[in-house]
Amino acid sequence: VQLQASGGGLVQPGGSLVLSCAASGFTVGQHSIAWVRQAPGREREGVSCISGLDDTTYYADSVKGRFTISRDNTKNTIYLQMIGVKPEDTAVYYCATDRGKTCSYGDSAWPNFDFWGQGTQVTVSS
């Protein structure tokens, strides 16, 4: 199982960014995949999750209405579209999956998923 996040960078407040998570060794359409972020000095925070059973999506309150998670099964890739970004969105973003836990466990569970990829840095600053 491998996950590789990409697409991070420097973006101005109010701007947009799209993160990608390329998976290998398993099929994203059959597993819950979460985006989790970690800012310096802070604990990991669940951001969003997409169910492997259907297309149900979940969002932390802090990003609801601004971020959109999606999946492309043909590319075995998960995306996180970020719009209206804020300085507090600055963090390293990771994608993660689990053998048993699903998105429905809630955003507090996503940071405890089993498998993680390398993260991608997102910096929101003017």
For the sheet with 67-72, list strands across it: 2-6, 17-24, 77-82, 67-72
Phi-psi region of 105 (alpha: psi -120 to 50; beta: other; left: phi over 0): alpha
pLDDT in tens, 5-18: 999 999 999 999 99
The per-residue pLDDT for range 63-109, each reduced to its tens digit, is 999 999 999 999 999 999 999 999 999 999 999 999 888 998 888 89
Whole-number pLDDT of residue 55: 84
